[in-house]
Amino acid sequence: MTTPLIRLQQLGQSPWHDNIRRQLLTSGTLRKMVEDGDITGLTSNPTIFEQAIADSSDYDADLRRLAAEGKNADQIFDALAIDDIRNAADVLAPVFERTGGKDGYVSIEVAPRLANDTPSTIREARRLWSTVNRPNLMVKIPATAAGVPAIEQSIADGLNINVTLIFSLKRYDEVMDAYLRGLIRRLESGQKIDRIASVASFFVSRVDTLVDKLLDEKITGGAERKDLLQSLKGKSAIANAKLAYAEFRRKFSTEAFAGLKNHGANLQRPLWASTSTKNPAYSDVYYVEALVGPDTVDTMPPATLAAYKDHGNPEPRLAKDVDDARHVMDQLAEVGVGMDAVTKKLEDDGVASFAKSFDSLIAVVEKRRTQALGTREATPKRKAPKARKRQAAKRTASSRKTRARGSAAKKSTSSKTRKSAPRKKRAAVAKKASGAKARRKPLRTARRSSSKRKKRR
């Protein structure tokens, strides 16, 4: 049976599943989704893992085992996540093989706390790549200012990279250039580039969420041209994505990429992320329908994926009405909604949101770990540096007093021992003499008894 999800693939778009949890793997559900043709890839993020571990007991047995081995919370989560990602990659391996490495990927994200640390991001991407050790793995790196050079280096290292948290057209252009520079560097070092895959995750519905809020504030605030403000609601996200796709087609049709393509270079496909509908006034497949086009990926959460399979109507709409999309951006600027400010806030909020989810996730794992070990759930707060110094000084003074008292007591004891030695010696001699008398007494008694028996005879 040809479903809307299969028709997406026929039109050149890969439907991926934006979700992972242990039960999805152990129950065989993920395998069935792959075999049925519903999905051709999978993405994960800290929020998804937080929900998976916090809301189920699926991980408890492994968590207890890892806690007993002495692993801390970060190490336990790392082991749990890598296990899930490996298993998911194995389930999607047939898609990877069937498509010649064009599809069938599973993504795992570097820790969000490294989003603004280029060297640490590079090291973590390498570690995840080597530890998971699957050819159909993609390591997710956020498209922050610090993330862009990490993306270039990781591509040059030969890693598959999923660039996440892209909101602005400017940042997207930087991401594509980083990908191309990484390929060029690798090729110039004499290494192959034909097996390197990458996607650029461009976030969609979050743009409408913020822009619509700004438009509503202007409407309720008594701004002029209320009809125009109202008509722009729900249009910014799709317009932004359409313009991004136009930039993708332009960038990868240049002579620069043509030369790389001759060496087997793959396209860095746009991946539409955050395609679930946040506003109930819009269709539950609103964003998926608008962004169907060749050489793209759409990663959908479970509800959106099920909705599209049920009543999606795929048609290649992505490359249409690009001029209208530019007009929408111009109108937003006219009414005082600057997309540069919008996308900068969304990037900052996105990094902060994932970091918060990651911290919450680690807190959940730590709580389970301490419960498994039967230890206290709360770790005492570290004292401020000044307080620690005062406490150390007190301990030092106390230690000196204790040593002084101990030394004085030792001298006193030694003196008393010397004075009491003669008395103890006399007592010991007296005791010995008394014992000797007691031993001789039965002998004299026996002699007297023997003398009396002789007299009787």
Output the pLDDT for position 345.
98
The answer to whether residue 393 sits within a structural domain is no
Q: CB atoms < 10 A from the CB of 385, how many?
A: 8
Burial of 227 (0-12, 13-18, 19+ CB in 10 A): exposed
Give the number of domains in the chain: 1
Please check whether residue 443 lies inside any domain of the structure: no
* β-pair partners for 108: 139
Tell me if 421 is assigned to some domain. no
Q: Is residue 404 part of a domain?
A: no
- What's the pLDDT score for residue 386? 53
**What is the distance between the alpha carbons of residues 385 and 390, in angstroms, rounded to a whole number?**
9
Q: Is residue 210 part of a domain?
A: yes
Q: What is the pLDDT along the chain (457 residues), one digit of tens a residue?
A: 799 999 999 999 999 999 999 999 999 999 999 999 999 999 999 999 999 999 999 999 999 999 999 999 999 999 999 999 999 999 999 999 999 999 999 999 999 999 999 999 999 999 999 999 999 999 999 999 999 999 999 999 999 999 999 999 999 999 999 999 999 999 999 999 999 999 999 999 999 999 999 999 999 998 888 999 999 999 999 999 999 999 999 999 999 899 999 999 999 999 999 999 999 999 999 999 999 999 999 999 999 999 999 999 999 999 999 999 999 999 999 999 999 999 999 999 999 999 999 999 999 999 999 999 985 444 444 445 555 556 656 555 655 555 555 555 445 544 544 444 445 444 454 444 444 444 444 444 444 444 444 434 3
Establish if 446 belongs to a structural domain.
no
- Per the domain annotation, does 417 fall within a domain? no
Annotation says 261 is catalytic: no
Cβ atoms of 393 and 83 within 8 Å: the answer is no
Q: pTM of the full predicted structure?
A: 0.81
- Domain assignment of residue 223, given as a range: 4-373
The CATH number of residue 304's host domain is 3.20.20.70
pLDDT of residue 105: 98
What is the sign, positive or negative, of the torsion defined by CA atoms of 91, 95, 97, 98? positive
Q: What are the C-alpha distances in Å from 95 to residues 12, 37, 92, 161, 185?
A: 15, 10, 5, 18, 29
For 325, the token pair is 């999309």
Hunting for tokens 């026996």 — which residue is that?
A: 446
- Which residues are registered as beta bridge partners of 161? 139, 198
Among the options 140, 218, 235, 309, which is catalytic? 140
- Secondary structure of residue 116 in the 3-state scheme: coil
409 occurs within a structural domain: no
